[in-house]
Amino acid sequence: MLSLGGFETPSPVTPEDAAYATARARMLREQIVARGITNLRVLKAMGRVPRHEFVPAELRSRAYEDGPLPIGHGQTISQPYIVAFMTEALDPKPTDRVLEVGTGSGYQAAVLAGLVAEVWSIELVEPLARRAETALQRLGFTHVKVRCGDGHLGWPEAAPFDAIIVTCAPEEVPRALVDQLKPGGRMIIPVGSQWGNQELVLLRKTPAGLEKRAVLPVRFVPMLRGT
């Protein structure tokens, strides 16, 4: 096992695995820990997930770079730090059932899978949904369920959820997602227009109403509607 600041990553079994493991350890140290992510469970989860398996083959050498990468169909895999930041802000618990809106590559779902009991993930673009589902199953993330659909509608038959994470930006928080949160549930979501300002917003559903707090300026692809 490779040790890094109190957590470990899986031992590589081939020279190629070793190169990726080294890049992943550097990513964790220089991009994530150095920027203040301290949740040990999140760090362990990101240390275990092979990010290179979730990017197109021609971009695998760049999988651990400090930035987003294109995955086709006008979509991206988020910057590693943003994945870590959003995951830590969501404060995932081992017993949580989590809804993800915007499966994309499947990487965020894989990170969550190491932290919670169930992940339900929605992707509007069908080829991305099928590709992510195949990658997640192949890598053993069997408690992640993926469907193709409009994220504005959530996944009502699987609700309520302990937490919701949204990886594309609507102009305002969809009401259906709020309705599908359990009392006390948390949501992390980028909000804003495609061409204007966007803020990452952390919400908590309380008896007194919905608490909202802007936590980080961001730039995400827009949250599109199904036809």
The position carrying tokens 């499966």 is: 103
Asked if 121 is an active-site residue, the reply is: no
Contacts of 134 (CB under 8 A, 6+ apart): none
* Assigned token pair, 33: 């820990």
Cβ neighbours, 10 Å, residue 70: 12
SS3 153: helix
Report whether 161 contacts 181 (CB < 8 A). yes
How, if at all, do strands 181-192 and 198-206 pair? antiparallel
Which of these is catalytic: 3, 11, 61, 78?
A: 78
Long-range contacts of 180-186 (CB under 8 A, 24+ apart): 180/99, 180/154, 180/155, 180/156, 181/205, 183/207, 185/160, 185/161, 186/90, 186/91, 186/162
* Assigned token pair, 76: 């991206």
Q: What gap in Å lies between CA 187 and CA 206, rounded to an integer?
A: 12
Could you list the active site residues?
78
